[in-house]
Amino acid sequence: MRTRQIAIIILLIEMTFTPVDAQWKHIGRDLKIEETTHITELTEHPEKYFNRDVKIEGIIASACTNEGCFIEVVSKDGTGEGIVVNFPELVHKFPTDCAGYEVVVEGMFYQKIYPESRVLHWQGHSFRKGIKVPEFSLIKCIHAKGVSIGEVKATAPKPG
């Protein structure tokens, strides 16, 4: 009985001194960028951010449910396009069940032309299902360096 009481006291002490960031799953390097760039700013003015490190915050609208190779991040209000996020060379993978969680991403922003087959693979996991995919698509992406995924599932925005 005494062992159980001690365990409960230790647990309460740990909960008291646990920082808020401990409630997030972190992948990759520590987050360092102070200023957050709104996803809409990236999608509407991509030329200002090419090959630059940025920090975005949003909701994971979709994730690769096979391997965890990518996530698609949309703004919390659900407006505008999403950004496809992956780690270069897949050095880290995302949880395959992370869609709907809040996320903070830091990494290099770029655009790349992808063939229809690759976009259809992403679309198979995405809220954009049913949208016609052209033969080639210019996709906005981030090669992640660090990612923090929230612990509490939010409501994923509906496509606007």
Closest CA to 156 of 94, 80, 75, 96: 75
Interval 58-106: pLDDT, tens: 999 888 888 888 999 999 887 778 899 999 887 888 998 898 999 999 9
Supply the DSSP symbol for 31. Answer: P
Q: Is the pLDDT of residue 157 over 70?
A: no
Spatial contact of 59 and 41, defined as CB atoms under 8 Å apart: no
Q: What is the model's pLDDT at position 89?
A: 81
**Which tens digit of pLDDT belongs to each residue from 132-149?**
777 888 889 999 999 999
In terms of C-beta density within 10 A (0-12 exposed, 13-18 middle, 19 or more buried), how is residue 53 classed? middle
pLDDT attached to residue 13: 37
Tell me what the pLDDT averaged over the chain comes to.
81
Compute the CA torsion angle 103, 105, 110, 115 (nearest 10 deg): -40
Q: Stretch 33-57: mean pLDDT, rounded?
A: 96
Fold of the domain built from segment(s) 21-153: OB fold (Dihydrolipoamide Acetyltransferase, E2P) (2.40.50)
Task: Using the predicted structure, report yes or no on whether residue 128 has a pLDDT greater than 80.
Answer: no
Domain ranges of the chain: 21-153
Rounded average pLDDT over 33-38: 96
With a cut of 70, say whether residue 7 has pLDDT above it.
Answer: no
In angstroms, how far is CA 64 from the centroid of its own chain? 11
Higher pLDDT, 125 or 64: 64
The more confidently predicted of residues 38 and 117 is 38
Give the pLDDT confidence score for residue 64 in this predicted structure: 87
State yes or no: pLDDT of 23 exceeds 80.
no
DSSP state, residue 39: H
